Amino acid sequence: MAGLIEIRDMSKRHYQRGLLSRAQGGVLAVDRVSFSIEKGSVFGLVGESGCGKTTLARALLFLDPPTSGEVLFDGTRLGGLSLRELRERRRRMQIVFQDPNSALDPKMRVRDSMEEGLRNLRVPKLERERRVRKLLELVGIPSEHASGYPHEFSGGQKQRIVVARALTMDPEFLVLDEPVSNLDVSIQAQIVNLLLDLKQELSLTYLFISHDLHLVAFLSDGIGVMYQGRLVELAPTGEIMARPVHPYTLKLFASVPGFAEGASGAEGASGAEGAGPAPGKDSPAARGCPYFASCARGDLACTRVEPRLIDIGGGHMVACIKEIASADADLAHSLEGGKR
């Protein structure tokens, strides 16, 4: 399958106002991230709050353009487009945010909120009304409720309306940024099933961002693990769930009920007990592995070499010099055995 989304060494820095912030380098929220999402697939992005997941999503959609690197959508480099061309492309890429209450204007009727983008595109009134009715029915909201205001709907209904509004642009790619984290568990299941049905019916591609590993494992074809703005592990879902490798991934899995057994040895590997603080900007770890201060396996070599994602087999990518060295040793051993 062709890659619909391709990210190459994308970085995003945040600067405060004033020249001093720029002189100091700002805050690097996303650090040289690379991955691709195949058309018709679901790519799951996991990590703790503040690791840069939402920043990456906004930069990917050019809502807040990346500082460096490239984003390709269906083979087209978004950074090379004019503003008009970018707007046309962005119609094919939409985002569903975490909180439907902040996503919907409380003073606008559902119909008006959904028609807003269509009006900007100068879609005729009858076509706008037809599309709104169709999409509301598609997400399980009776079309006669289109005249209601957001406060008249439950949290699950509002999230369905937000999904329907994203679909008014007839997108091919949806970024789902924690789309069910604010909902009750029973409602979460309904929204997840809705997203799966829509993906199948409309041939959609998803970037699914969440801290819920169970949900990501259920939905995704591939998973990327993010730590302090970097991808530390990337693999097909079945592979990473069966064989998590990076110490941070092991710690993340061990902290979730139901994953502790699969992440055996995680405490020893990750130093979860008594882990040191996250490395500062000027610490040795900032020049090497960002996870060094919290990793029981790390040594001085980890402060000198910056780990990059390396394939350790079967498309399983890991950014850990210990694992890379181990994989290289196994490869050398197998080659030596072949010579004999």
Whose tokens are 């008009």? That residue is 84
Judged against a pLDDT cut of 90, whether residue 272 lies above it is answered with no
What are the pLDDT digits (tens) for 195-239? Answer: 999 999 999 999 999 988 889 999 999 999 999 999 999 999 999
Q: Say which DSSP state 29 is in.
A: E
What is the mean predicted confidence (pLDDT) over 179-207? 90
Mean pLDDT (whole number) for 38-49: 94
- CB crowding 137-155: b at 16 or more within 10 Å, else e: ebbebebeebebebeebeb
User: Poorest-confidence range of 62-76, 79-93, 252-266?
Assistant: 252-266
What is the tens place of the pLDDT at every residue in 288-320?
A: 888 888 887 877 888 888 888 999 888 999 998
C-alpha to C-alpha distance for 306 and 321, rounded to whole angstroms: 8
Between 281 and 327, the higher pLDDT residue: 327
- What sections of the chain are H helices per DSSP? 19-23, 53-60, 83-90, 100-103, 110-120, 125-138, 155-167, 185-202, 213-219, 237-242, 247-254, 266-270, 300-304, 321-339
Contact 173, 4 (CB under 8 A): yes
Q: Which stretch of 98-107, 118-127, 137-146, 178-187 has the lowest confidence by average pLDDT?
A: 178-187
Q: How many Å separate Cα 216 from the centre of its chain?
A: 10
Sheet with 27-38, edge to edge strand ranges: 27-38, 3-14, 68-73, 76-77
pLDDT the model gives residue 18: 57
Q: What is the CA radius of gyration of the chain?
A: 22
pLDDT of residue 306: 84
Q: Is 279 exposed, middle or buried (0-12, 13-18, 19+ CB in 10 A)?
A: buried
Helix/strand number for the chain, H first, E second = 14, 12
